[in-house]
Chain A
Amino acid sequence: MGLIKTVTEKPWERKGVIGGMVPEGTFAVAAERVALTFFLVIATVIFSLFMVSYYLRMELPDWEPLSEPAQLWFNTGLLIASSVLFQWSRNIVVRGDTRNLYTSFFGAGVLAILFIVAQMVTWNHLQAGGFYLSSNPAVAFYYLLTGVHALHLIGGLWVWSKCAIRLTAGGEPEEVRLSIQLCTIYWHFLLLVWIVLFAILANT
């Protein structure tokens, strides 16, 4: 059912129950998944607007490029590992399996926490090196962009922790399957955002 076809239908001509049990135009997925999709679009808009602002601000004469600390490569590795583990736990619950679920699921969360800690350590290094928020717009953007990204990850960790509580309280993997599936998508999204951010920061 294409969009054009949907909006060109003549509703005054068709009578009766259209589409049986499911009204036409409904996506055959869980409502949470639709909500997540919208949220990912919103987050994309937020990050895009920050990046557009970054590029526009960069053109002004007082911009002094910041050479990003090499530690960021290590941090990136942590986030990639976290995403991989999340994918692993997702595959396990989708199969209906439980073996290695704890390892992969908790590993993913711990690595994400480590990533945030590592980002903060990087902030401290920058501060120690005399790069403050107010010293230059490039530095300010570095703190701002990494901060907003970390905040999004913390939001994800909140859902992860709710899921973790349910698992440790003896909940069946079945109950948390949707949460884990959606978290995995969100984790991959944040990894992608981070890679784009890192690429932009490192190349300018």
Chain B
Amino acid sequence: MAYVPLADQDQDMEMHHPHSWVEKYVWSQDHKVIAIQYGGLAVLTGIVGLVLSLLFRMQLGFPESVNFVDPNFYYQAVTMHGMIMVVYFLTALFLGGFGNYMVPLMLGARDMVFPFLNMMSVWTFLISVIILMASFFVGGGPTGAGWTLYPPQTAMAGTPGHDAGIILMLVSLIVFVVAFTMGGLNYVVTILQYRCRGMTLMRMPLTIWGIFVATVLGLFAFPALLVACIMMLFDALLGTSFFMPAVLEAGTPLDFEGGSPILFQHLFWFFGHPEVYIVALPAFGLVSDVLSVHARKNIFGYRMMVWAIIAIGGLSFIVWAHHMYVSGMNPYFGFFFATTTLIIAVPTALKVYNWLLTLWEGDIRLNAPMYFAIGFIFTFIHGGLTGLFLGNVVIDLPLSDTYFVVAHFHLVMGVSPILVLYAALYHWYPKISGRMYNEALAKVHFWLTFLGAYAIYLPMHYLGFLGVPRRYYALGNTDFIPLSAQDLNSSITIAALIVGASQILFFINIIGSLKWGKKADPNPWGAASLEWQTPDTPPVHGNWGENLPTVYRWAYDYSVPGAAEDFIPQNMPESDVATAQDAKSSQGNEE
């Protein structure tokens, strides 16, 4: 079929205009509504994950203070917290939420390429969440195998949820992969094929680059999870022995024979490591845009940022076994993976330097999104630095099963992406809702979250050095750990409760501002990228009114020397750019 350029499709493009409330807000094919559905569902699921974490934190800080948190529930809560936060919350919110909202708007398209598929994606995601949540209500409860679901213990008596819980978890993940693939195909094809006139690849905002590479990673990494889940499902339901070795259960041999648990670990982490970057790369992109806009400077080293995103994406496929150093692998194997892991620090550090250099001598506006973005730089540096330790086999071996690892991955892929999420949500809230949020409340929310996160995770490093093991319901008789470690644990729990509770401020702010917020200017931050130049705020179905925009420049023309305004929108032709000279003379005329 012949190719029809997007610019020629203005009149032809078939829009599925909604006819009723249900079509507009429920069975919607509009990418913005789908983005909010995706994001809202991800946030609801994330709240469940948050509450679970507070419950098991209560057990750790104040043992046996909550009477229903017994060892079984503890493991179930830890497992579900991990899986929910990584897959159903962060992945879904970054790619399903922000991916859907930003891709067409930032590229000057009317919608995704395949709106119907997009709608299918969000409903399939809902099904996967329902299946996941159903596991709380089946006999035996949800699986408590740890979010990595390592066989053989996943499917054996003694592990909570080893019968129905694990089956539902696996089915839910398979359905999630299907949902993600439908959404992901949409994002990549839209980014490649539906950019508006003049929008070359190197003019795309870094948000889009982050989402693009993360989606490609997801499309190629989630199949590993799919394959692992299918084979595990066969083992658990149909009696095959792909992963299950010959094993005794309470003294009786099970029917399994000869399977390889290590094979599962390889498959799981071949998905699991790129997954870290599926979450991190969109965050990198979003934070770059927030920093650049609020520092009134172009992003430092745009090209390097793009190369770094691509390099990190590529490298993320050859580092997976650094999660398996303790599995007893060949030392040469470990050496290889330690090397690739440390190489990833190079493009990552490059990004950090570029963020800092973007701030350097910028005309920084300390709005709430900027607080969160700068906070992210702190937590990301701290979390990233401990990664350098853990990437080395000899340092990882003693630390792997301690709280040091918990502190590392929470800072680097828990707190950091979440700070970016808040930065991005506050930053784009005026465009999404048409209202301004409450600035003071947002800043209180920032300080509680940021300082609270440090109060939680800095002490955990120290617990790790002491050798406090992670995954334990109670410490029991562990002579090498001083009793004072329990005090530290209590303080961590208190901090966690405060941080957890302070997230209510965020919801009060965004929900309250819908009603009481000041009406937002179409472009309150003076941003140059396309999504701020829509004719309506919030953008309506079809985004651009009569004509699609044309792009004349990159997304980072801030504080251009000689220009009257400190930003030039992407869709402003060179001839329309007012110079400082013009501005002066027009002022002169008025006088």
Q: Which residues of A contact B (CB under 8 A)?
A: 6-12, 15-31, 33-35, 38-39, 41-42, 45-46, 49-50, 53, 56-57, 60-63, 133-134, 137, 140, 144, 148, 177-178, 181
Nearest B residue to A29 by beta-carbon distance?
B3
| A21 to B551 alpha-carbon distance, docked (Å) | 11
Nearest B residue to A62 by beta-carbon distance?
B258
User: Does B234 contact A9, Cβ atoms closer than 8 Å?
Assistant: no
The 4 residue pairs across chains A and B that have the minimum distance between CB atoms: A62-B258, A134-B239, A11-B554, A25-B201
User: Does B226 contact A46, Cβ atoms closer than 8 Å?
Assistant: yes
Shortest B56–chain A CB gap in Å is: 33
Nearest A residue to B258 by beta-carbon distance?
A62
Query: Known contacts being A21-B7, A23-B195, A62-B258, is A16 close to B238, with CB within 8 Å?
Result: no
User: Does A23 contact B200, Cβ atoms closer than 8 Å?
Assistant: yes
Q: A42 contacts which of B223, B303, B573 (Cβ < 8 Å)?
A: B223
User: Does A56 contact B1, Cβ atoms closer than 8 Å?
Assistant: no
Query: Known contacts being A7-B303, A46-B227, A62-B258, is A35 close to B189, with CB within 8 Å?
Result: yes
Residues of B with C-beta under 8 A to A35? 113-114, 185, 189
User: Does B201 contact A133, Cβ atoms closer than 8 Å?
Assistant: no
Residues of A with C-beta under 8 A to B255? 134
In B214-236, the 8 Å CB interface with A consists of: 219-220, 223-224, 226-227, 230-231, 234
The segment from B156-164, B259-267, B278-286, B321-329 that touches chain A is: B259-267
| A142 to B313 alpha-carbon distance, docked (Å) | 34
| A39 to B178 alpha-carbon distance, docked (Å) | 12
User: Does A140 contact B307, Cβ atoms closer than 8 Å?
Assistant: no
User: Does B5 contact A140, Cβ atoms closer than 8 Å?
Assistant: no
| A4 to B573 alpha-carbon distance, docked (Å) | 27
Question: What are 14 A-B interface contacts by the 8 Å CB criterion?
Answer: A11-B200, A11-B303, A18-B198, A21-B5, A21-B197, A24-B200, A25-B200, A29-B1, A42-B181, A42-B223, A63-B258, A137-B258, A144-B231, A144-B234
User: Does B202 contact A34, Cβ atoms closer than 8 Å?
Assistant: no
User: Does A133 contact B240, Cβ atoms closer than 8 Å?
Assistant: yes
Tally chain B residues at the interface, Cβ within 8 Å: 62
Shortest A67–chain B CB gap in Å is: 19
Q: Does any Cβ of A come within 8 Å of B552's Cβ?
A: yes
| A174 to B200 alpha-carbon distance, docked (Å) | 32
Q: A15 contacts which of B197, B240, B552 (Cβ < 8 Å)?
A: B552
Q: Does any Cβ of A come within 8 Å of B492's Cβ?
A: no
Shortest A20–chain B CB gap in Å is: 8
Residues of B with C-beta under 8 A to A133? 234, 238-240
Further pairs besides A8-B303, A18-B203, A31-B194: 13, Cβ < 8 Å:
A6-B200, A7-B303, A11-B202, A12-B302, A12-B557, A22-B3, A22-B5, A26-B193, A46-B227, A53-B227, A53-B242, A57-B260, A134-B241
Nearest A residue to B573 by beta-carbon distance?
A16
Q: Does any Cβ of A come within 8 Å of B550's Cβ?
A: yes
Shortest A55–chain B CB gap in Å is: 10
Residues of B with C-beta under 8 A to A134? 238-241, 255
In B476-496, the 8 Å CB interface with A consists of: none
Q: B553 contacts which of A10, A15, A178 (Cβ < 8 Å)?
A: A15
User: Does A53 contact B197, Cβ atoms closer than 8 Å?
Assistant: no
Shortest B328–chain A CB gap in Å is: 16
User: Does A21 contact B192, Cβ atoms closer than 8 Å?
Assistant: no
| A148 to B229 alpha-carbon distance, docked (Å) | 13
Query: Known contacts being A53-B267, A62-B257, is A17 close to B5, with CB within 8 Å?
Result: no
Q: Does any Cβ of A come within 8 Å of B591's Cβ?
A: no
Q: Does any Cβ of A come within 8 Å of B556's Cβ?
A: yes
Shortest B240–chain A CB gap in Å is: 4
User: Does A9 contact B185, Cβ atoms closer than 8 Å?
Assistant: no
| A56 to B219 alpha-carbon distance, docked (Å) | 24
Residues of B with C-beta under 8 A to A29? 1, 3
User: Does A45 contact B220, Cβ atoms closer than 8 Å?
Assistant: yes
Shortest A19–chain B CB gap in Å is: 7
User: Does A60 contact B258, Cβ atoms closer than 8 Å?
Assistant: yes
Q: A57 contacts which of B8, B230, B263 (Cβ < 8 Å)?
A: B263
Residues of B with C-beta under 8 A to A7? 201-202, 303, 306-307, 310
| A41 to B270 alpha-carbon distance, docked (Å) | 16
User: Does B260 contact A31, Cβ atoms closer than 8 Å?
Assistant: no
Residues of A with C-beta under 8 A to B199? 23
Nearest A residue to B555 by beta-carbon distance?
A11
Nearest A residue to B568 by beta-carbon distance?
A15
Identify the interface centre among A10, A22, A63: most chain B CB within 10 Å of its CB: A22
| A22 to B201 alpha-carbon distance, docked (Å) | 12
User: Does B189 contact A31, Cβ atoms closer than 8 Å?
Assistant: yes
Nearest A residue to B195 by beta-carbon distance?
A23
| A46 to B224 alpha-carbon distance, docked (Å) | 7
| A8 to B224 alpha-carbon distance, docked (Å) | 33
User: Does A177 contact B1, Cβ atoms closer than 8 Å?
Assistant: yes
Shortest A176–chain B CB gap in Å is: 11
| A200 to B554 alpha-carbon distance, docked (Å) | 50
Residues of A with C-beta under 8 A to B226? 46
Q: Does any Cβ of A come within 8 Å of B546's Cβ?
A: no
Nearest A residue to B221 by beta-carbon distance?
A45
Residues of A with C-beta under 8 A to B310? 7
User: Does B234 contact A140, Cβ atoms closer than 8 Å?
Assistant: yes
Nearest B residue to A28 by beta-carbon distance?
B3
Q: Does any Cβ of A come within 8 Å of B84's Cβ?
A: no
User: Does B230 contact A144, Cβ atoms closer than 8 Å?
Assistant: yes
